[in-house]
Structure formats: C-alpha cells, structure tokens
C-alpha cells in the first residue's frame, strides 16, 4: 500500500536525564548555542510545521534554552520511563493539536550532525517510495531521524520503556525506506563523547 505525506511536522525528543553524562546533554554548548537549540534551529530551517519539543528532566532549563525559538514545548510527566513515553506524548500532542498532519519526523537533540538537507531527504525518499517510514542508517542499524506516516502512529503509541522506534522499524522492513547518515553514529552519551565533539569542531 502506498502512503503519501503531505503535511509533516517534526518531533524533537529532549526529555532524558543524561544519567551517563552527569549533566543535561540538552544544554551542552554547541555552535554558539546548545545541543537542543541547535536541534531546534535545524528543524525550523526545514520550514516544516509544527516543530514540537518534548521535555521532561531539567524541563525549566530546557524551556529557557528554547525561549527564543518558535517551537511548541510539551511536558512529559512520565519521562523517567524512557524514550517511548516521550514518543507517545509527542505523537498524542500532534494528533490532538494538528489533525491535518499525516507525517512526523522524530529526532533527538544529541545527534549534532543532523542537517536540514538530511531531514528534507527523508521527506523526498518517502515521496519517492511511498513507504510508511523512512529511517536513517548508520553503523549498520536504522535509527533517528526517522519519518513516520500517520499509519505508523498507532504502533508508536504502543511503545513502552526506554526504547525508541528501532524495533518497529526492524519488524517491518518492507515498509521502511532508508537514507544513509553515517554521522548519526556520533551521539553524546558520555563526557568522552562530548570531548570528541568539541575537538572535532575546533
């Protein structure tokens, strides 16, 4: 079955506690802003609307970091459950607030090399293939950023625990198109990861 996305929003998952890092990764300095500010700027540069950010741990500080960005911020009261809870909260907010949407790109704030062109490439690949999902591929795995047609949303709403949508993507390979994004493997989970990032950009 062919699916077409005509109205696509962006969902940025930024509710985690960054327990391995020891400080909020959302607020780490990057390119004259923060990781969350950078993610929001990249999302907004696509001109896709809305851009919705799910916050949880350290919510006041993350909201403050976004105060000059025209994004919608949604609180995840159950953020301690993990990423699945943020996906559910975000998809529910999009369904209720923007019934015209038929697609959403899910992204995280700790992949600093996501670009406007990558996000738009997901959209182009979806239009070209008619697949219900388009995922980024790096390190031999599928992951974020990933685009989901609304036919996928009920499955997203069933996710639980500290897991993203990777299992869903792996379970329905015939419904998933792929865009290569090797720099997606560079995420920030530890202080060492962040130090590598700062040395790389200097």
pLDDT at 6: 95
pLDDT at 202: 43
What angle, 0 to 180 degrees and rounded to 10, lies between the N-to-C axes of helices 35-45 and 116-129? 50
pLDDT at 165: 86
- CATH number of the 8-201 domain: 3.90.550.10
Cα separation, 191 vs 110, in Å, equals: 12
pLDDT at 33: 92
The domain segmentation of the chain, as residue ranges, is 8-201
pLDDT at 172: 87
Going residue by residue through the chain, which has 202 residues, state the pLDDT in tens, using 9 for 90 and above.
Answer: 689 999 999 999 999 886 566 667 888 888 889 999 999 999 999 999 999 999 998 999 999 999 999 999 999 999 999 899 999 999 999 999 999 999 999 999 989 999 999 999 999 999 999 999 999 999 889 999 999 999 999 999 999 988 788 888 988 889 999 999 998 887 777 788 778 887 765 4
> b/e string for 34-49 if b means 16 or more Cβ within 10 A?
bbbbbbbebbbebebb
Under 8 Å between Cβ of 12 and 51 = yes
pLDDT at 18: 64
SS3 111: coil
């Amino acid at each position: 079955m062919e699916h077409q996305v005509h109205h696509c929003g962006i969902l940025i998952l930024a509710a985690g506690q960054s327990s391995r890092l020891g400080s909020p990764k959302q607020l780490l300095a990057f390119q004259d802003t923060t990781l969350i500010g950078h993610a929001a700027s990249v999302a907004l540069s696509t001109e896709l609307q809305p851009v919705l950010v799910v916050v949880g741990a350290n919510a006041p500080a993350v909201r403050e970091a976004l105060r000059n960005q025209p994004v919608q911020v949604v609180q995840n009261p159950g953020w301690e459950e993990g990423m699945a809870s943020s996906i559910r909260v975000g998809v529910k907010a999009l369904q209720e607030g923007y019934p015209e949407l038929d697609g959403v790109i899910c992204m995280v704030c700790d992949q600093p090399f996501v670009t406007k062109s990558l996000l738009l490439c997901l959209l182009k690949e979806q239009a070209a293939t008619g697949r219900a999902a388009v995922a980024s591929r790096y390190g031999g795995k599928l992951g974020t950023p990933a685009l989901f047609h609304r036919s996928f949303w009920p499955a997203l709403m069933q996710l639980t625990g500290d897991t993203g949508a990777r299992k869903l993507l792996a379970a329905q390979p015939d419904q998933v198109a792929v865009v290569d994004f090797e720099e997606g493997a560079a995420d920030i989970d530890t202080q060492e990861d962040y130090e590598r990032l700062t040395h790389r950009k200097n």
